[in-house]
Amino acid sequence: MSDSRGDGDRAAFVEYGIEDRPPLGESILLGLQHYLTMVGANIAVPLILAGAMGMPADVTARFVGTFFVVSGVATLAQTTLGNRYPIVQGAPFSMLAPALAIIAVVGSLPGQPDWQTALVHLQGAIIAAALVQVAIGYLGLIGRLRRFLSPVVIAPTIALIGLALFDAPQITAADQDWWLLGLTVGLIVLFSQYLNARSRAFQLFPVILGMAIVWLLAALLSIWGVYTPDSPGYVDLASVADAPALMAIYPFQWGLPRFEFALAIGMVAGVLASIVESFGDYQAVARLTGSGAPSERRINHGIGMEGLMNVFSGVMGTGGSTSYSENIGAIGLTGVASRYVVQVGALCMLVAGFVGYFGQLVATIPEPIIGGLFVAMFGQIVAVGISTLKHVDLDSQRNVFVVGFSLFVGLAIPQYMANVGSAQDFRELAAGVAPVLGSPIVADTVFVIGGTGMAVGGLVALVLDNTIPGTREERGLEEWEKRTEDDAEFESAWERFRGRSAD
């Protein structure tokens, strides 16, 4: 990637670019800030799975810690050996629906608790589906689609990453504590937008400062009895003292994976949805940092590495791994896009996964604070997607139609799938239309992908933009290609190692 292109496109608010290395102390705080943005999802997914499996409380603590360990290893692998973008890897919601479907249908095994039986079957399904993802990535199937992707397709895909979480329970719960949520949003906005020029602390650490202040307030209110254990803002400090100091986390800790073809096929649908989401994340972080749209080789290595890390997550016994959109929102708020910072944060998270006190302390962050964080961040991602349209002709009726239609469908179809209920409910509904549609393979694939907004909107935009007549200039392809890095500009880990060996 040429310096001229990167400097010309790099957003003015970016304080630390991809290659920058802030001082270690500052990098630790910045890295932890990146990880705090995704803590809600990285705790919610294992807790949802543990509840569905009926997992005991002491095992659940180790289960959550394992997710943090896998997140740290996967982030280090992706930023070092994969696409090398500063994107945190963590537990995917896109693979949650097929995981819950697997848990619901798995029976019992002699001499083994039901939760353990469900988990070893889930591990097998994730490993098998991840091997498909490895093949898709390293065979270049996703990268080859890049030539069909104009900004008209990329804009709604990225925007829907943020829009898809407007109704997250951390935001829209009926018993929401709007004072805590509003204070979290207010402080993050105050620090990042109004006071950012007053101090580097406000400029670089708006998220961690805002969350820490509101968490301390919620903790004090909990100690004073204003918040009770039934309150959404309650901070359970006693649970931190009761947590184990160290937790033993190791491969196959729940037992050897069990493989069943039908269960693996269902999980492939979750992997496909995860791939689409990751593709949008790659485009978003490239857009934010001005590093040029990702090349075919970078995309392929990113998806392939995510597949390998999903294999690793199956070996360790978690629910998968994917790129995190929350982390990209943090880049937009803080201007910190340093790969080194994310790697330092990943090392901290990897170590912390073995420390019970830390994991439980993070788990005490009330959901209204997480919701406030989501409100502040996901609007950034929506705006990044919309800003991509500066390369296209917005006086073109076909462009306006494709973007608007894709956004609407990308919100409506997932809502329909949510109203249907579970994957099993959708199978029964689809079987009433045509028997083949009700088969687990077809129904589960449609249900999972249909429930992922960026997958629906991106696929609809892809079809419309490449079938409705329009010139390359009108669609923004000519301008976009100027900003897309050449394949030769991305060096794989093996090429970098070979080059250093030659020197």
pLDDT digits (tens, 9 = 90+) for 106-115: 877 777 898 9
pLDDT value at residue 130: 96
pLDDT of residue 382: 87
Residue 10: the pLDDT is: 54
Q: pLDDT tens digits for 265-290?
A: 878 878 887 887 788 889 888 888 87
Cα torsion angle, 167, 169, 170, 172, sign: positive
Residues 14-34 as b/e (b if ≥16 CB within 10 A, e otherwise) read bbbbbeeebeeebbbbbbbbb
Judge whether residue 79 has pLDDT over 90. Answer: yes
Contact between 447 and 267 (Cβ < 8 Å): no
Dist. CA 219–CA 235, nearest whole Å: 5
- pLDDT for 25: 92
In angstroms, rounded to a whole number, what is the distance separating the alpha carbons of residues 312 and 130?
9
Return the top range by mean pLDDT from 32-36, 106-110, 117-121, 271-275: 117-121
Q: Which pair of structure tokens corresponds to residue 303?
A: 């998806």
pTM over 0.85: no
Are 93 and 452 in contact by the 8 Å Cβ rule? The answer is: no
The dihedrals phi and psi of 260, each to the nearest 5 degrees, come to -135, 130
3, pLDDT greater than 50: no
* 56: Cβ contacts below 8 Å, ≥ 6 apart: 115
Q: What are all long-range contacts of 54-57, with beta carbons under 8 Å and residues at least 24 apart?
A: 54/114, 54/115, 55/115, 55/119, 56/115
What percent of the chain has a predicted confidence (pLDDT) above 70?
A: 96
Domain regions of the chain by residue span: 3-489
Q: Among candidates 287, 332, 295, which has minimal Cα distance to 1?
A: 295
